[in-house]
Amino acid sequence: MRARLITAEEKMLYTARHCKGDASETGLVQFAQAIMDLDQTRGKFPVHKCKNSAGKETECLIPFSSDIKFNAFIRDMNPAVEKPTKIEDNLCIYLKGAPDRVLKRCNKILINGEEVEMTDQHRKDIEGANAAFANLGERVLGFAQCRLDPAKYPKDSYQFEMKTWSSWGKALTNANGEARRASEYENIEGSFPMHDLVLVGLVSLNDPPRFKVDLSVNKCRSAGIKVIMVTGDQPPTAAAIANKVNIIKHPKQEFNYLCKSMDKTEAWEKCTGVVVHGDLLAEKHLAEEELDDMDPIKGQFL
């Protein structure tokens, strides 16, 4: 019966098929399925597996977390070729996540199928597109890739270190405050490029608020309840959605918006809402961690 149901569903239009996962993932699945059959593509380019000396296999992937705000896979671009001589037949790293986190790891961009050096104008255009989509309240994701040279990363013998990758691959800048380069850790055993990637593009998804949330927020306000929204979206998207559901009623009186035309002190006095980035909260928390709980400075920013 299960097999018959699966067969019947495969005959349905892809948008009508059952799709499991959160809104972003299911949106991506339905977007990609219109271009390629996902089951066939995943079968053709499987996740690469490393086998240690004990014969245990480990999938080469980095799961998503709110700390890094991306996930990554190393996929085998031609599983039939054991010892490839061409980059196209070897392995490729694919990374997906928050546009700002992805963009900072890229120094090239894919244009008409060709990898070219990323210029300041490219970055400006990408950031502009991201801001335009985010200001509409859309969820934007960035995508990057890096094809691995078979001479340095032979898929039949190279041991990718997936558990300790953050010790050399997590930081976005080096000790001098400059953008980190893959060459800085390429000699570490088991390392692989997590910088100097190639930006493939951005995808924007519309994830509208649930029906009548705006009315519920108004009821809370009338009861004297201050409503605070916590989200994994980037600040412009968060502000746009907060405006849609009446948490921020006057977007042009939001603190960061006012800071564009006045100093922070004046903006704080005039604002009626504020969006605070989680990275800033983490930075302040780390700086105040050693302070005594009775110190008035501790928690003052929040």
Question: Residue 93 region, left (φ>0) first, then alpha (ψ -120 to 50), else beta?
Answer: beta
Residue 207: CB partners within 8 Å, gap ≥ 6? 23, 24, 27, 138, 139
Confidence of residue 151 (pLDDT cuts 50, 70, 90): very high
Question: What are the residues facing 106 on neighbouring strands?
Answer: 197
pLDDT in tens, 225-236: 999 999 888 888
pLDDT of residue 15: 78
pLDDT of residue 158: 94
pLDDT in tens, 69-80: 999 999 999 999
pLDDT of residue 130: 94
Residue 28's φ and ψ, nearest 5 degrees, are: -65, -40
Domains of the chain are: 45-205 (3.40.1110.10), 213-288 (no CATH)
pLDDT at 52 over 80: no
pLDDT at 6 over 90: no
Mean pLDDT of 253-282: 90
Mean pLDDT of 277-289: 87
